[in-house]
Amino acid sequence: MNRTSSDFIIIKALESGVNVIGLTRGESTKFHHSEKLDKGEIMIAQFTEHTSAIKVRGKAIIQTSNGTMDTLIED
């Protein structure tokens, strides 16, 4: 079964040090990939047979086929 989605997720860092973490599929969820973005950097990602979730930590804008959202981090 092909679990790769053709939809892309776009993450734009609004501050330096935004973490984007890929989480695995399977019986237990584990971190399998991590990227750190600087302010203004953009990462384009998609779900695959290995990635079932993406976690974003830090101030960022996330665009998906379902809409645009931003992380709300209170100072």
Give me the CATH number covering residue 20.
2.60.40.50
For the chain, the domain total comes to 1
In a domain, 48, yes or no: yes
CA dihedral 8, 12, 17, 21 (to 10 degrees): -10
In a domain, 30, yes or no: yes
In a domain, 4, yes or no: no
pLDDT at residue 75, as a whole number: 59
Who contacts 66 (Cβ-Cβ below 8 Å, separation ≥6)? Answer: none
In a domain, 15, yes or no: yes
Taking phi over 0 as left and psi of -120 to 50 as alpha, with beta for the rest, 54 belongs to beta
At 47, the pLDDT band (50, 70, 90 cuts) reads: confident
- Containing domain of residue 34, as a range? 9-67
What is the tens place of the pLDDT at every residue in 24-44?
A: 877 777 778 899 999 999 999
Q: Which residue has the tokens 């989480």?
A: 23
Q: Tokens in use for 75? A: 């100072």
pLDDT at 1 over 60: no
In a domain, 2, yes or no: no
The mean of the pLDDT values for the chain is 85
